[in-house]
Amino acid sequence: MKATALALALLCASPVFAQTSPQASSREATHMDNLATLLDLTDAQKAQVQSILQEEHAKMKAAFEQDKASGTKPDWQQMKTLHQQIQQETVTKLTPVLSATQMKKFQIIAQAMHHHGHFGHGGAAPSATPPPAQN
């Protein structure tokens, strides 16, 4: 349960990846360190995962900014489709970086984020399988 709470807290604030203030940089480092601990990442994996998640966040932000600039508001289905596309790209990029066990953990964390209403804030892709039941 503590790991799930930590993972949720970690991924809730992942939009800070795109910010550049010293405070944001400190939070980003803390969040990445926590994710590295949860997934048992090597230093090389940590750098790759961070880069992939930053790229995902940048794509989501760019899509939002583009819609804002055009004055149009996409409907919920369009937003969901775009989000799923970007998430799938992220999973595809993470697959050669993470081991099967690490990938499963990452997807469980992402699924937990999705179920807790943080859809789109975690930079993570939901899993096709639900997280294990907690007793």
**Mean pLDDT, residues 52-81:** 86
Mean pLDDT score across all residues of the chain: 75
Quick check: 74 pLDDT over 70?
A: yes
Q: DSSP states of 64-96 as a string?
A: HHHHHHHT----HHHHHHHHHHHHHHHHHHHTT
Quick one: average pLDDT of 90-109?
A: 94
- Higher-confidence residue: 132 or 31? 31
Model-level pTM? 0.65
Domain spans, the chain: 2-115
Most distant CA pair in the chain: distance in Å? 48
DSSP 36: H
- Reported as a pLDDT band with limits 50, 70 and 90, residue 4 is very low
25 has a pLDDT exceeding 90: no
Token pair listed for 78: 């369009």
Q: What is the pLDDT of residues 41-58, one digit of tens each?
A: 999 999 999 999 999 989
- The C-alpha atoms of residue 130 and residue 107 are separated, in whole angstroms, by 9
Judged against a pLDDT cut of 60, whether residue 81 lies above it is answered with yes
